[in-house]
């Protein structure tokens, strides 16, 4: 029951770390309270796992220390991931924005990781709950299957997102018990919710998706925006949600790459008897055009009866439509956890706690969160691989 390395969490980061450590000749055990490894991998990307992105770069990650992820990303690159897939004959394809997916199934990624770890002698035990962790190397782990000791412990149990697959704050609690600071966790890559006044006009548009530019703070994302019965979702909203802060408004450019003022003015000149909403419907879905015109007080007014100044003001509003979210849908639908173990207490070169030798934190458990589109999986691979070189 004694190991060189015990990894808590059989997700992307934990399995990668186990494989890397086992290949160094370390005796490795992975423990997970779920009944199977890689639960989050299996449900990701519609079952095909968006396993990385060609655009991986430090500036596409959020952290209290934006430079923390740089070292790991440089040492375990997209090319390294693709070489691993080549070795295991896992076919893949590229989608929009550099997103890379498995051709067949996310099961290919889980099998790859299990093979990598198992072939090097790593051991994986699922359905085991880890309780208290004590000691300073050797560490003692009290579990539902008895006690285990290890020279190194790797916290790879993720964060609070998607509780239906067993997400918990275990890694944060253990880190805090060892004196590491924890940045308050909050849901990331999550749909936004709105007050009833806004929902009253949003709900009838449920199911409509448009490409828009959505801004939150200094971040801007051009992606699909989707109306739902609960508010707004879609890639643009999920991306912006990680940058949105309570009490702030977001802005939407409904007509990216279109000079709204010029198009409306041209419509007025060509069709003065047409309603404003009708002219706008040449640029947007009819139901959305009608709703936006009504919300702006343009309603059924003929565009020829609208002054040039009023039309210009409406065009400006369409390019920066202000919406004040009341919150998010929370952990239930959040894809990732923002915050986590403060990177100020971790070595960017090893993922080891500076003040607690032998204790490592990887993946979503740390305060590093990527954009939507494979970035978080790549952080899991990179941080797990790095920790596996030193644990």
Condensed to tens digits (0 to 9), the pLDDT of residues 73-132 reads 999 999 999 999 999 999 999 999 999 999 999 999 999 999 999 999 999 999 999 999
pLDDT, tens digit, for every residue of 151-162? 999 999 999 999
Dist CA 163 CA 266 (whole Å): 52
Whole-structure pTM value: 0.95
Determine the average pLDDT of the residues in 353-381. 98
Residue 136 confidence (pLDDT) above 80: yes
Dist CA 157 CA 136 (whole Å): 20
Where residue 298 falls among pLDDT bands split at 50, 70, 90?
confident
Q: Are 261 and 312 a contacting pair, CB within 8 Å?
A: yes
Residue 201 confidence (pLDDT) above 90: yes
**CATH number for the domain whose boundaries are 191-329:** 2.40.30.10
Mean pLDDT, all residues of the chain: 96
Residue 328 confidence (pLDDT) above 90: yes
**CATH number for the domain whose boundaries are 2-187+335-388:** 3.50.50.60
**Phi, psi angles (nearest 5°) of residue 325:** -60, 150
Where residue 19 falls among pLDDT bands split at 50, 70, 90?
very high
Q: Give Cβ neighbours of residue 200 (< 8 Å, ≥ 6 apart).
A: none
Where residue 1 falls among pLDDT bands split at 50, 70, 90?
confident
Residue 26 confidence (pLDDT) above 80: yes
pLDDT, tens digit, for every residue of 341-359? 999 999 999 999 999 999 9
Classify residue 207 by burial, with Cβ atoms within 10 Å: 0-12, 13-18, 19+: exposed
Q: Can you give the pLDDT at residue 137?
A: 81
Residue 299 confidence (pLDDT) above 80: no
Domain residues of the chain, as ranges?
2-187+335-388, 191-329
Determine the average pLDDT of the residues in 250-272. 97
Percentage of the chain lying above the pLDDT 90 cut = 97
Q: Give Cβ neighbours of residue 266 (< 8 Å, ≥ 6 apart).
A: none
Q: Can you give the pLDDT at residue 189?
A: 98
């Amino acid at each position: 029951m004694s190991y060189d390395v015990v990894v808590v969490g059989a997700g992307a980061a934990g399995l990668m770390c186990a494989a890397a450590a086992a290949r160094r000749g370390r005796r490795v055990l992975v423990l997970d309270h779920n009944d199977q490894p890689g639960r989050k991998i299996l449900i990701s990307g519609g079952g095909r796992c968006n396993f990385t992105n060609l655009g991986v770069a430090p500036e596409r990650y959020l952290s209290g220390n934006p430079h923390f992820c740089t070292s790991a990303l440089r040492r375990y690159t997209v090319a390294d991931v693709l070489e691993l897939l080549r070795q295991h004959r896992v076919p893949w394809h590229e989608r929009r924005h550099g997103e890379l997916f498995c051709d067949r199934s996310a099961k290919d990624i889980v099998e790859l990781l299990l093979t990598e770890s198992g072939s090097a002698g790593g051991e994986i035990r699922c359905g085991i709950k880890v309780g208290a962790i004590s000691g300073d190397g050797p560490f003692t782990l009290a579990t539902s299957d008895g006690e285990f000791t290890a020279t190194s412990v790797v916290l790879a149990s993720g964060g609070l997102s998607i509780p239906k697959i067993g997400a918990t704050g275990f890694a944060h609690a253990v880190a805090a018990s060892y004196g590491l600071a924890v940045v308050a966790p909050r849901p990331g890559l999550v749909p936004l919710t709105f007050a009833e006044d806004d929902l009253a006009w949003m709900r009838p548009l449920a199911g409509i998706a448009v490409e828009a530019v959505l801004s939150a703070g200094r971040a801007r994302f051009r992606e699909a925006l989707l109306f739902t019965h609960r508010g707004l979702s879609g890639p643009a909203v999920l991306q912006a949600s990680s940058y949105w802060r309570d009490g702030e408004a977001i802005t939407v450019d409904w007509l990216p790459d279109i000079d709204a003022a010029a198009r409306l003015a041209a419509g007025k000149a060509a069709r003065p008897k047409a309603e404003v909403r009708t002219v706008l419907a040449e640029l947007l879905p009819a139901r959305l055009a009608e709703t936006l015109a009504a919300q702006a007080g343009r309603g059924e007014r003929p565009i020829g009866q609208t002054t040039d100044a009023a039309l210009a003001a409406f065009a400006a509003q369409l390019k920066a439509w202000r919406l004040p979210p009341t919150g998010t849908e929370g952990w239930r639908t959040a894809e990732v956890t923002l915050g986590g173990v403060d990177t100020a207490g971790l070595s960017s070169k090893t993922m080891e706690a500076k003040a607690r030798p032998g204790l490592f934190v990887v993946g979503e458990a740390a305060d590093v969160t990527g954009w939507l589109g494979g970035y978080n999986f790549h952080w899991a691979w990179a941080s797990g691989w790095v920790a596996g070189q030193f644990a």
